[in-house]
Structures are given as C-alpha cells and as structure tokens.
Amino acid sequence: MSFDPRSIPVDPAASSALARHGLEYRLLDPDDHDAMHAWIEAEHRGFHHARPRDVERDHGLTVAAERRVHGVYDPQAAEPAVPVATVAGWPTGLSVPGGRSVDAWAVSAVTVAATHRRRGIARALMEGELANAHNAGAAVAMLTVTEATIYGRYGYAPAARAATVTVNRQRAHWVGPDAPGRVHFVEPADLRETAAAITRRAVARTPGEIDRWPGILDRALGLVDPQGDAARRVRTVRYDDEHGQAQGFVAYRITREPNEPGVVEFDFLVAATDDAERALWQFLVEQDFVTGVRGRLRSVDEPLPWLLEDPRAVTLTDVVDHLWVRILDPVEALGARRYGIAGTLDLEIADPLQHASGRFRLVVGERGRAEVERLDDTAAPARQALKLGVQELGAVYLGGVRPSVLARAARITAPAAGSLALADRMFAADRTPHLSIWF
C-alpha cells in the first residue's frame, strides 16, 4: 500500500461515540508542530515515560510524519491542548509464511489518560483504527501489546511470541561451525545505509516481522541523539559473507560496574542468512570479561542451544505473546501466505464486528499456493469444515498456534474427522513466527 494514510476520512462512528461524552476526536496535521508536541507529551505520559527532550520530540515529529495520528481532546480539561488519549496507525507489510508479505495496518501509541477511564475512549480508538485499516485496503491489522486483556474484544489474537534469551558465559563453549565470512566493527553512522538493506532481507525470512521504518533504525543505532550517554555505549558489528556481501549486524552495549565483569545486552540482532545469525551469536557469546549475554525480543525457537556444548547455558525468560493479529479480509489474508501441504478446508468465521464474517473455501495446491473464495449461504460445506472466530483465525494465521490446540480449548469446532490434522499441517510454517521489535 503506497498512499498518504491521512487521506482516509475521519471515522464518523468513532467521532460520534466520543462526542456523546463531550470529547473531540481529531486527526492531527504533522506540520502543526505545537499540536504534535502536545501529542508526543501525552503519549510519553501514557506509557509512563519521562517527559521528552527536544531531540526526542524532533525524532517523534519525523516518525509521525509518515503516520496517521489521532488525539482525543477534552475541552473542559485543565490543559485542553494536550490530548487525553492517543493512537497512531500506518500501512505496512507483514511477513507471512513462504517469504511473502501481506498488506497490513499497524496500530501503535494507544494510550488513555488515567483521568478519563470508562468513557468509551479505548473502544472508539480501536474501532476507529479497524475502520482506517479497512478503508486503506489492509487484509490484517496488528499491534504489540502491554495489556493482554484489552485487544481480544476487537478481534485481535496473539500470533507470534518473543522471549528474552540469556547466555551464561562461563558455560558457553561454542561447538557450532565457524562462519565462512567475517565480523567487523563499524561505526553506527557508517552502518546506517547498509543496515536498512540487510533488514529488508531479514524481515522477509520470518513470519511475523514487519517492514521497518527509518526512525527505528536510527534509534537502534543510537543516531537519534548520538552524543547522549545511551548512544555512546552502543557498539555495532557487521557480518560480511565470504563474497564480501553484508548479511547481518548487531547493535549491543556492555553494562558493568567499575572493575567488574559486565553483561552484553542487545535489542537488535539482524541476520539475512543463517551464517550471519550464527556468526553474530558466536561473536556475542565469546566476549571476554563478561558474565553473560542478554538479548530481548528473540525467537522462542533460537538455534543457539544447538551451537553450544552445554545447551543449558541458554535460558529463555519473559516469554510473551508479542505480536497480535486481526484478520480483516480472509480472502486476501489467507491467499497471501504459503501452506505446508495441499488440501481443501471450509472455514466458517464468526466476527462480532462483521469485518471477516462468512464462509470461505481455502484450496491449497501442491506448491503451497492458495486460492480462497467466499461461499454463499447455499454452498454445501466441505467435509473438512472448521468453525472458528476471527480471533482464532488470527492466532493460527502465521503458523504459531496449531488449530488442534485451539480445538482442545473449545475455541475451534471441527465436525469432520481428520479436518484438524489437515488444518495443522496446512497452516504449519517452515519458520517459527517471531517479531523482534516493538511498534
């Protein structure tokens, strides 16, 4: 999807719902810097962050310029120019099984001030974003969550998990193969252009990853405020393959007390090939004068334990349901991905908000390509019919949850014998879904 997301009309249902509570629902102009600064202040407050510095506000303006930004305002508040709720959305690609991408709508910056609870604000914002996504032609909407009890009511479901991976340096003895290429120290600013190209290739490898925007690379590499204390602690290395092609990088820091061993920490390891992934992990776990390595938002299916002599040197903690997906157009969404085996399934989907309701036939050929059609009410169901809600469809969409598991939880009904086994094999992905960033 290539268009200005601000060209979509303001959702009248959300506007009317908020007006009944004396609130105003506004689409912000990114060129109105006073209004945008107030919005950024409100977003920081909503996530319990410190008040933003000028450099952070400037970065926020740059990011918001590519997004559709809404605020909710209370004319009776002590500071009526500061929104009491925020949300942002934008069109982007979501990687799906088979190395493909589906048109998606990312939802972010969802906050409601503690002074304005129970006024229907969150519902208006979330349903408004679904309307924006539908009007943009997105097949799915998606978000990352801090509160897991809110978003299911709007049809979202956890579709990709993430974890913190910790390595005990004393127990970490590398037994994996040495990579054929080389790891180089590079300055963050010198890595910036190459990092974008590497990231595009890496994102396409893994279901659940989303297209990156320039601002997130600037933040990961410490380029938003390069003279700040946090940025000056960032070190970056790049992996080049045996042909000299850059295939991966990691931005890391070492936290330590004076004269004490430190801990290697990273939030951003990007690999476009398996060799690059192995080489960067080897570089991290073989650091001297450290007690361990800690990587956040890593896959729950990391290969690292199989590269060390003692797999118990690796522990996974903070395993979370990181990416939540909401199907809006089953025909487009199901047709975009590749499937594990050939077969035919009828899906009867219930959606209380009516975006994805209906009966659909999914026909997968020998090469994993799918054809999807909406069935009318007179069509006879196939023997492998499944009845499920839009949440359950979102959960299985990327291959991170087996349909049979949801059937055991009474979330999917499968009248025909063998249909669950077929669905498990069809929806299986060749790579565990994973999202390695917040958005």
Measured CA to CA, the distance from residue 84 to residue 64 in angstroms comes to 18
Classify residue 410 by its DSSP letter.
T
Token digits of residue 219: 């933040």
3-state secondary structure of 129: helix
* Residue 85 CA: distances (Å) to CA of 23, 36, 71, 286, 350: 10, 13, 6, 46, 30
Q: Considering 25, 151, 266, 268, which one is annotated as catalytic?
A: 151
Q: DSSP assignment of 8-69, as one string?
A: SPPPHHHHHHHHTTT-EEEEPPTT-HHHHHHHHHHHHHHTTPPPPPHHHHHHHHHHHTTSEE
100-112 and 140-144 strand pairing: parallel
Alpha-carbon distance values, 218 to 192, 212, 373, 410 (Å): 8, 11, 42, 45
Q: Is 439 known to be catalytic?
A: yes
Helix (H) or strand (E) holding 128: helix 121-136
Q: Which residues are annotated as a binding site for acetyl-CoA?
A: 110-112, 118-123, 146-147
Q: Which two tokens stand for residue 282?
A: 């080897």
| Euclidean distance between CA atoms 72 and 93, whole angstroms | 28
Q: Any residues with CB less than 8 A from the CB of 178 and at least 6 apart, and which?
A: 282
For the annotated catalytic residues, the residue numbers are 151, 439
